[in-house]
Amino acid sequence: MKTKLFLFVVFVFLSIIFSICTGSEGYSFGAFIHAIKNGGIDREILLDLRLPRVAIGFCVGGVLSVAGAILQALFKNPLVEPYTLGISGGAALGVVFGMFFGISSFFWLPFCGFLGALVVMLLVYLFSIKKGYISLDKMLLIGVMISFISSSLVLFVEALVSPAKLSGIVYWMMGSLQWVSKIGLGIISVLSVLVFFVSFLLSVYLNAMSLGEEDAKYLGVDVERVKIAVFLIASLATGLSVAFVGIIGFVGLVVPHFFRITFSRDYRILLPLTFFGGGSFLIICDSLARSIVSPIELPVGVITGIIGGSTFIWVLSRRGLNG
C-alpha cells in the first residue's frame, strides 16, 4: 500500500507539471522554472493562462470523481455516475435555452445551467420519494428517463437555432475548460473543497451503506438522511460543473471504480484518492486535447471518453466488475 501511495503522489505531481508545460503553443519546463524565478511574459502566461486552467480542470475532475464515488456507494452499483440521474441533462438544457435566447455572459450562462440542474434535481427527488422513503431503483430509472427527455429537448432547440449558435452549442456540449472566468474558477474551487469535505464526513456512513440498507440500519445509520445528503451533494456538484465546463463524461464512472479495485473499498481512503486522481486524470486529458492536433483544440470530453472507456474495459477484463 505504501508503494502504491508513493507512486500515486508522484503521479499527481507529474500530472500537474505535465499539464502546465503542454498545450497548443508549447511551454517548456525551462520556461516554467524561469517564470518562477524571474517573472516576465513567462510568469504572465503561467499565472493568467496555465495555472487557472489547471486549477479548473483539477477541481472539476476531483468533484465529478467524488460525486461518482458517493453515488456508487449509495446505489451499490459501479456503473452509476453523476450523469446517470439526469442532472447533467438538466444543466445542458438550461445552458442551451440560455444560448437560444441570446444569453452569452460567462456568469449568466452557467447560472442558466445550474438552474436547469436544480429543476431536474427537484423533479427526480419528488418523483422518487413516497411516504418519506426514497426508492433508489425508482430514482435511478427516473433520472435516466429525464436524461433522455432533456437530450431530446436539446436536439429540438438545436434544430431551431442558427448555424452560428448551433456550432457553439455543440462545442460546449462536448466539454471544454477554455472559457471559465475568474468568478467561475472561484465558485468551482470553493465547491470542490466543500463537496470533498462533506463527502469525507459521510465516509463512515457510506461504508455502512455499501453493505446494504438493512445492514446500515442495524449499525445505527439514518439511511434516508444519508440518501438525501448524497443526492444533494452529487447533484449540486454535477450541476455546477456541467454549467461551467459542459458535459465531461466518464470521469465520475472510471476514476472511482479504478481506485476502488486497485487501492481500497474503504471510503475514508477512497474519497481522497478519488478526488486527487480524478483531478489529475482530467488535466492530463485536457493537455492531450490541446496538443494532439495542435493548434486545434479538441473538446476534453472526447479525450476522457476515449481514455476512460479504454481504461475501464482493460480494468474489467483483468479484475472483473466487482474487483
Give me the residue spans of the domains in the chain: 79-247, 250-315
Homologous superfamily of 79-247: ABC transporter involved in vitamin B12 uptake, BtuC (1.10.3470.10)
Chain CA centroid to CA 168, Å = 21
**Tens-place pLDDT, residues 34-43:** 666 666 666 6
Nearest to 188 by CA among 302, 52, 25: 52
The phi, psi pair for 134, rounded to 5°, reads: -95, 120
Give the CA distances from residue 308 to residues 184, 237, 299, in Å, rounded to whole numbers and listed in that order.
26, 20, 14
Give the SS3 label for residue 85: helix
Buried b / exposed e along 61-88 (16+ C-beta atoms within 10 A): bbbbbbbbbbbbbbbeebebbbbbbbbb
Report whether pLDDT(227) > 70.
Answer: yes
* Burial of residue 11, with CB atoms counted within 10 A of its CB: 0-12 exposed, 13-18 middle, 19 or more buried: middle
Of 318, 313, 256, whose CA–CA distance to 281 is shortest? 256
Residue listed under C-alpha cell 431536474: 120
pLDDT of residue 23: 64
Q: Which of 20, 82, 78 is nearest to 52 (CA)?
A: 20
- pLDDT at position 323 is 52
Q: What pTM was estimated for this model as a whole?
A: 0.88
Cell of 256: 472511482
> All 3 cell numbers of residue 274?
478519488
> pLDDT tens for residues 235-286?
888 888 888 888 888 898 889 988 988 888 899 999 999 999 999 999 999 9
Q: State the CB neighbour count (10 A cutoff) for residue 121.
A: 24
pLDDT band at 56 (very low <50, low <70, confident <90, very high): very high
